[in-house]
Copies of this chain bind each other. A is one copy, B any other.
Amino acid sequence: MPAKKKSAPRKELSPLALELIAARFRALSEPMRLRLLNLLMGGEKSVGQLVEATGSSQANVSKHLSVLREAGMIAMRKEGLSSFCYIADPIVNELCEMMCSRLREEMESKVQAFDAGI
């Protein structure tokens, strides 16, 4: 095959792939949704329980849950009047814990720099 113009060619992602990946990250880009996911990490919960735990409105929680569901991160199970939510994609735990620990590292290093008088 013909030689490339220059530098490292690397794998270019297709526009579709970029959009799909961005959509997943976008689902994680709101504090309320992270809070809901964090609550669900403790096990499945009904929408009502999530409403009570967050102190937010039912409509708002329901909407955020829809976003998370469309992103494939959670799933719902109906039981009588209640809908129970649970984490459907194990990547959620990994991603959040990774981001959490990274932030902690970062902040601790800043504290150290502060303590060192820099």
Contact = CB atoms under 8 A, between A and B. Distances in A.
A10 interface: yes
Interface in A12-71: 12-13, 15, 17-26, 28-31, 33-35, 38-39, 41-43, 45
B26 A29 contact: yes
Contacts of A12: 38
A118 interface: no
How many copies of this chain does one complex carry? 2
A99 B103 contact: no
A20 to B, nearest CB: 6
Interface of A: 7-13, 15, 17-26, 28-31, 33-35, 38-39, 41-43, 45, 72, 89, 91, 94-96, 98-100, 102-103, 106
